[in-house]
A and B are shown apart, each in its own frame.
Chain A
Amino acid sequence: MSEHSIALAHQFDDLEQQKEAAILGMWVFLVTEVMFFGGMFTGYTIYRFKYHEAFMAGSDHLDLLLGATNTVVLALSSLTMAMAVRSAQLGKRRALMSYLSLTLLLGSAFLVIKGVEYSHKFHQHLVPGPHFAFEGHDPQHAQLFFSFYFAMTGFHALHMIVGIGLLAVILWMSYKGRFNAEYHNPVEVSGLYWHFVDIVWIFLFPLLYLVGHHR
């Protein structure tokens, strides 16, 4: 059997069908992810509409610099991921591995920055719960802002961790030479997932960090 047909799963007729199924599969999965985050976005929108002042006060306590840097870091990791997919299409194994490692690095950088931000919140007693101390306007509803802040960025970080794990596996598979110009579906599919996680952050950043910074 020729080398490429090893990659063809038994239920598919040809590689073309298998690739289209994989890509469509990830897009359908991303629909479920959009709706999953959508539930939290709904709650956030409702409470921001009802308690606008408290959300402005809460957003002031977020570190805008770290947030913006994180956005650029994630955008950069999207770029390197796209380049990784491109090199997989061209069958350039070394370029693929280096871009994947870059993406992994940037992803971990994002999580490190996020960790720093969380520790700041922890020291400033801004973590919702018994010892939540907020001296700004309307602490009662500001706690609601922070619970949505932690819920949304927390689930986003969780998706980042899953993404990093996925990329590590893909890096290992490309190291073993499993991909070539004809067959590189896992790379492209994990690329779609990574870009989706970036898009979620593109919406999270303005919603959480830029609430009324114009004062």
Chain B
Amino acid sequence: MSTAPAAGKHELPRVHYLNIDYGIRSWLFTTDHKRIALLYLASISFFFVLGGLFATIIRLELLTPAGDLMESETYNKLFTMHGIAMIFFFLIPSVPAVLGNFLVPMMIGARDLAFPRINLLSWYIYTLGGLFTLFAMASGGVDTGWTFYTPYSSTYSNTHVMATALGVFILGFSSILTGFNFIITIHKMRAPGLTWFRLPLFIWAHYATSVIMILGTPVVAIAIALVGIERLFHVGIFDPALGGDPVLFQHLFWFYSHPAVYIMILPSMGVISEIVCCFSRKKIFGYPFVAFSSVAIALLGFLVWGHHMFVSSQSMYAGMVFSILSFLVAIPSAVKVFNWTATMYKGSVMYNAPMLYAMGFIGLFTMGGLTGLFLSTLATDVHLHDTYFVVAHFHYIMVGGAIMGYLGGIHFWWPKISGRLYPEGWARFSALVIFIGFNLTFFPQFVLGYLGMPRRYHAYPPEFQVLNVMSTAGASILAVGYAIPLVYLIWSLRYGLAAGPNPWGAKGLEWQTTSPPPTFNFPETPVVDEEAYEYYPMKEAEVV
């Protein structure tokens, strides 16, 4: 089993899932989980570029205190669509729908997901939801913020709220079907010998994510449906003039939307566990703790949503209950970070691009998590709520965490997906550029936040300008950092060296089949007889 990627010694297998069939029909009517994963890869990359474009324009507007690049309506639509495109159309599906779809069946030794046709249906629902939202964007956009707070969204906004709400409503079911498929597959279709505690932690993370998807998404679907009903019939569900309660919408919305941030980060945590073990050549430190912390995050994640509403006329006592629970949900995340760091102890650390992303993730996710404590502490949240501190916090988790995990995963499994190696030099360079650009963009926003600059401001007082200029400078570096992988990954499809079944010498069933794998993944179902991440059999080294 070669350790470093031996260049040039391998060639692609004659028949694999990519060249077994050609033509549009073979892609649009495929039930192969690997091809559906690539369909998702294409769609979410489109929305990532779109969302990134909106972000760049927002950062350009914020270069100057006065709102002079565009009208405030346009700015409001831009940050709304940046939020919707990034959260609903990129972050929630990214790791589960691309890497999860591709790898969950392979990692557990199955031929495909439990319900392949429903998996394809999930992509079509995603595309339908995307079309509705794009139609809304094209015909004038929506300016309610991605949070759709009532009564502005249900009564006062005259932009395309209905079309966007319909798009997001439909999209919810795509995420439900993905989660549904993973739960059944992981429960019922594991290879013989693959017990729960021999599963890769990637599977544990996706199982926990799927539980959140099926328990939380329906509630935001009904919340947005009620906004739709309120807009059509003005019956006062959320309109206080007719007796409704706008805070009820916030409860229903955040009941899903906080667990949704765990939908976005847990799969990336799964990716990081795989990468850190492979490139430290060591078993994960404290396997059961890391596994159960994923489940603990998923379950506790449902009890904490009130910390988004500490100053929204929520009662003081309910605020205290949500505050203490929000601190409890931070503990499993801390356990994970400590365990990843401990895994590198006495390892044999390699600096491949996936490992750079993983180390970046560990550092930035730690900062993101710790700044979250500021927002679950009641007294400081009064000051920090709805300021740029919150913007910086969730970007450290989403961009520093989820996207770095996603990019690390894409690079780590790229040889398995495409059968080719990406250019290592360029990959490490872009990882470093992303790290620097990211910090320069979002660290100043913590300072802006405590200074009191509110979110979603088209124009701001002049004394905030210097920090905003730094942030925009960082954003341009970040944009360059993201563009580079787009180029060399596509380049590698044609010119990348053949990777062979296991270029990294990694453990896991997906590395025991060819790269790219055949349509049914394994000639015959593999039998598992060793623990997870068994990088070096114990016979010649005593167990510490």
Given the known inter-chain contacts A39-B223, A129-B235, please indicate yes or no for A13 contacting B183, CB distance below 8 A.
no
Given the known inter-chain contacts A11-B112, A50-B245, please indicate yes or no for A147 contacting B180, CB distance below 8 A.
no
Q: How far is the CA of A140 from the CA of B226 in the complex (A)?
A: 18
- Residue of B110, B114, B245, B520 with most partner-chain A CB within 10 A: B114
Q: Which residues of chain A come closer than 8 Å to B243, judged between CB atoms?
A: 47, 51, 54, 140-141, 143-144
B229 to chain A, nearest CB (A): 6
What string of 1s and 0s marks CB contacts (under 8 Å) between A170-200 and chain B?
A: 0000000000000000000000000000000
Q: CB-nearest residue of chain A relative to B241? A: A140
Contact of A43 (CB < 8 Å), options: B176, B189, B248: B248
Contact of B229 (CB < 8 Å), options: A33, A35, A140, A151: A151
A153 to chain B, nearest CB (A): 13
B297: CB under 8 A from chain A? no
Given the known inter-chain contacts A17-B189, A24-B184, please indicate yes or no for A143 contacting B242, CB distance below 8 A.
yes
B237: CB under 8 A from chain A? yes
- The interface stretch among B214-222, B456-464, B475-483 is B214-222
Given the known inter-chain contacts A25-B115, A143-B242, please indicate yes or no for A32 contacting B235, CB distance below 8 A.
no
B336: CB under 8 A from chain A? no
Q: Which residues of chain A come closer than 8 Å to B34, judged between CB atoms?
A: none
- The answer to whether A147 and B236 touch across the interface, beta carbons within 8 angstroms, is yes
B312 to chain A, nearest CB (A): 15
- Residue of A10, A32, A43, A47 with most partner-chain B CB within 10 A: A32
Given the known inter-chain contacts A36-B222, A143-B236, please indicate yes or no for A28 contacting B214, CB distance below 8 A.
yes
- The answer to whether A25 and B215 touch across the interface, beta carbons within 8 angstroms, is no
Contact of A46 (CB < 8 Å), options: B219, B234, B245: B245
Q: Which residues of chain B come closer than 8 Å to A24, judged between CB atoms?
A: 183-184, 187-188
Contact of A13 (CB < 8 Å), options: B112, B226, B525: B525
A135 to chain B, nearest CB (A): 18
Contact of B218 (CB < 8 Å), options: A32, A128, A140: A32
Q: How far is the CA of A190 from the CA of B184 in the complex (A)?
A: 18
What string of 1s and 0s marks CB contacts (under 8 Å) between A9-36 and chain B?
A: 0111100010011001100110111011
Q: How far is the CA of A24 from the CA of B111 in the complex (A)?
A: 19
Contact of B219 (CB < 8 Å), options: A39, A50, A140, A148: A39
A64: CB under 8 A from chain B? no
- The answer to whether B184 and A28 touch across the interface, beta carbons within 8 angstroms, is yes
Q: Which residues of chain B come closer than 8 Å to A17, judged between CB atoms?
A: 188-189
Q: Which residues of chain B come closer than 8 Å to A140, judged between CB atoms?
A: 236, 242-243
Q: Which residues of chain A come closer than 8 Å to B110, judged between CB atoms?
A: 11
Q: How far is the CA of A38 from the CA of B219 in the complex (A)?
A: 7
A27 to chain B, nearest CB (A): 10
A162 to chain B, nearest CB (A): 13
Query: Does more than half of chain A's interface fall in helix, strand or loop, or is it mixed?
Result: helix
Q: Which residues of chain B come closer than 8 Å to A38, judged between CB atoms?
A: 218-219, 222
Contact of A11 (CB < 8 Å), options: B116, B217, B242, B244: B116
Residues of B in contact with A, size category: 35 or more
B252: CB under 8 A from chain A? yes
Q: Which residues of chain B come closer than 8 Å to A35, judged between CB atoms?
A: 214-216, 218-219
A2: CB under 8 A from chain B? no
- The answer to whether B188 and A129 touch across the interface, beta carbons within 8 angstroms, is no
Q: How far is the CA of A24 from the CA of B252 in the complex (A)?
A: 27
B317: CB under 8 A from chain A? no
- The answer to whether B237 and A10 touch across the interface, beta carbons within 8 angstroms, is no
Q: How far is the CA of A114 from the CA of B520 in the complex (A)?
A: 49
- The answer to whether A25 and B219 touch across the interface, beta carbons within 8 angstroms, is no
B251: CB under 8 A from chain A? yes
Q: How far is the CA of A50 from the CA of B237 in the complex (A)?
A: 13
B113: CB under 8 A from chain A? yes
Q: CB-nearest residue of chain B relative to A127? A: B233
B127 to chain A, nearest CB (A): 21
- The answer to whether B180 and A43 touch across the interface, beta carbons within 8 angstroms, is no
Q: Which residues of chain A come closer than 8 Å to B114, judged between CB atoms?
A: 11-12, 21, 25
- The answer to whether B233 and A128 touch across the interface, beta carbons within 8 angstroms, is yes
Q: CB-nearest residue of chain B relative to A51? A: B243
B503 to chain A, nearest CB (A): 28
Q: Which residues of chain A come closer than 8 Å to B176, judged between CB atoms?
A: 32
Contact of B217 (CB < 8 Å), options: A12, A32, A40: A32
Q: Which residues of chain A come closer than 8 Å to B180, judged between CB atoms?
A: 25, 28-29, 32
Contact of B226 (CB < 8 Å), options: A11, A33, A39, A129: A39
- The answer to whether B188 and A11 touch across the interface, beta carbons within 8 angstroms, is no
- The answer to whether A21 and B188 touch across the interface, beta carbons within 8 angstroms, is yes
Given the known inter-chain contacts A24-B187, A46-B245, please indicate yes or no for A32 contacting B214, CB distance below 8 A.
yes
> 10 more A-B contacts (CB under 8 A) besides A39-B219, A147-B237?
A10-B112, A11-B105, A13-B525, A21-B115, A21-B184, A21-B188, A32-B214, A38-B218, A39-B226, A144-B235
* Chain A residues packing against B (C-beta within 8 Å): 10-13, 17, 20-21, 24-25, 28-29, 31-33, 35-40, 42-43, 46-47, 50-51, 54, 128-129, 140-141, 143-144, 146-148, 151
